[in-house]
């Protein structure tokens, strides 16, 4: 079991505008990659493609509620397949784990470790869960990538940053995307929102020197992460800091394998998919699909 020590992003007080206009990057940025001349072959290979494998067990969200998202992904070129976690095929480009209700097993942890050792890519959506449950082995997997999953739910204390008078429907700030991760042309000019989100923290682990990580979406310092679910006797309250709601972590020693964590998921449901408040976060999800399926060597 790794020994970890939490560190948090520095709390920065800044003024809030009603329209999000881009934010500075957080304390740790991914290394810059010098763009090379693009050949026709590279252009063709960079088109959206590759297998997105959706985990259908562990109580994940039923794909009957995700028809819009699946339809968009397949229309632009991705292959979609869904089945149990342990049936994931070897040509999986992105393992999509959406709102699991059950922890993974030790066998599945070993399976995922082997996948990541070969450069695997995981996109984990993990909204808050009020149940007294701990995702012990999923936490262990994230800790390998210096990610701590918090058992909290984020509320916003600034009324200018909430929707529908709901302090759990919050406006979040967009951090600069990693190199070669495309976003919509106007994404940075859109206000991004999440409803009922949990936070994540970057932590130090034994392998921290091999890890490249950064926030992608985060709250203002006016948000508070309140204890929610879990089984800790004395869960933490997070306040006076920017709380990460989406982040990535890459391990250079494991063939550049990547885990992206997202603290909310209901923006992908058909009932919310076409809402203007979902647009910016959709762009980050599809930007992640492209970035994770791409064969660039970082």
Instruction: Report how far residue 65's alpha carbon sits from residue 6's, in angstroms, rounded to the nearest whole number.
Output: 36
- CATH number, domain containing residue 279: 3.40.50
Would 34 be classed as within a structural domain?
A: no
**What is d(CA 184, CA 270) in angstroms, rounded to the nearest whole number?**
20
Cα–Cα distance measured from residue 213 to residue 101, given in angstroms and rounded to the nearest whole number: 26
Q: Exposed/middle/buried for 10, CB within 10 Å: 0-12, 13-18, 19+?
A: exposed
Residue 216 domain-assigned (yes or no): yes
Beta strands in the chain, from DSSP E residues, in sequence order:
5-6, 51-55, 79-83, 92-98, 121-125, 147-149, 152-156, 162-163, 166-174, 192-195, 200-204, 211-218, 223-227, 244-251, 257-262
CB 292 within 8 A of CB 94: yes
Q: What is the pLDDT of residue 295?
A: 58
Residues of the chain with pLDDT under 50: 1-44, 298
* Spatial contact of 244 and 178, defined as CB atoms under 8 Å apart: no
Query: Do the domain assignments include residue 37?
Result: no
pLDDT tens column, 54-113: 999 999 999 999 999 999 999 999 999 999 999 999 999 999 999 999 999 999 999 999
Determine the pLDDT at residue 281.
97
Instruction: Answer yes or no: is 142 within a domain.
Output: yes
Cα 69 to the center of its chain, rounded Å: 16
Per-residue tokens: 280: 């910016």
The confidence score (pLDDT) of residue 11 equals 33
Task: Identify any residues that bridge with 251 across adjacent strands, giving them in sequence order.
Answer: 211, 257
Terminal C-alpha separation, the chain: 28
Residue 62 to residue 113: CA distance in whole angstroms: 25
Q: Which residues contact 252 (CB under 8 A, 6 or more apart)?
A: 210, 211, 212, 298
| pLDDT value, residue 116 | 97
161 in any annotated domain: yes
As for how many domains the chain has, the answer is: 1
The whole-number pLDDT of residue 24 equals: 35
112 token code pair: 């995922």
* 14: CB partners within 8 A, 6+ apart: 220, 221
pLDDT at position 251:
95
Q: Give domain status of residue 43, yes or no.
A: no
The structure's pTM equals 0.85
pLDDT of residue 286: 97
pLDDT of residue 296: 56
Q: Are strands 121-125 and 200-204 parallel, antiparallel or unpaired?
A: unpaired
Report the pLDDT value the prediction gives residue 12, as an integer from 0 to 100: 31
Residue 39 lies in a domain: no
d(CA 205, CA 140): 11
Tokens of 204: 């130090």
Look up the domain containing 282 and give its range: 5-12+20-25+48-293
Place of tokens 């304390």: 27
Q: What is the pLDDT of residue 180?
A: 86
73, part of any domain: yes
What span, in angstroms and rounded, lies between the C-alpha atoms of 155 and 139? 23
Q: How far apart are CA 250 and CA 212, in angstroms?
A: 5
């Amino acid at each position: 079991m790794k020994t970890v020590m939490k560190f948090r992003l520095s709390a920065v007080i800044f003024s809030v505008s009603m329209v999000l206009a881009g934010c500075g990057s957080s304390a740790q940025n991914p290394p810059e990659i010098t763009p090379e001349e693009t050949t026709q072959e590279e252009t063709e290979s960079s088109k959206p493609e590759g297998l997105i494998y959706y985990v259908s067990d562990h109580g994940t969200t039923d794909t009957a509620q995700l028809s819009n998202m699946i339809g968009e992904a397949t229309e632009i070129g991705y292959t979609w397949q869904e089945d149990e976690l342990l049936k994931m095929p070897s040509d999986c480009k992105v393992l999509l784990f959406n709102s699991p209700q059950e922890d993974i097993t030790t066998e599945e942890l070993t399976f995922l470790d082997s996948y990541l050792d070969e450069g695997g890519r995981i996109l984990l959506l993990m909204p808050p869960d009020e149940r007294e449950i701990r995702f012990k082995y999923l936490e262990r997997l994230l800790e390998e990538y210096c990610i701590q999953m918090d058992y909290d739910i984020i509320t916003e204390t600034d009324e200018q940053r909430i929707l529908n008078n709901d302090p759990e429907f919050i406006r979040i700030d967009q951090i600069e995307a990693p190199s070669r991760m495309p976003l919509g042309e106007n994404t940075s000019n859109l206000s991004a929102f999440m409803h009922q989100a949990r936070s994540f923290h970057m932590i130090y682990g034994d392998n921290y020197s091999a890890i490249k990580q950064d926030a992608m979406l985060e709250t203002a310092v006016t948000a508070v992460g309140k204890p929610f679910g879990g089984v800790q006797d004395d869960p933490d309250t997070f306040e006076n800091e920017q709380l990460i709601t989406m982040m990535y972590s890459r391990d250079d020693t494991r063939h550049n394998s990547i885990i992206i964590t997202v603290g909310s998921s209901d923006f992908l449901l058909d009932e919310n998919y076409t809402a203007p408040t979902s647009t910016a976060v959709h762009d980050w999800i599809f930007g992640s699909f492209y970035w994770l399926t791409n064969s660039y060597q970082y």
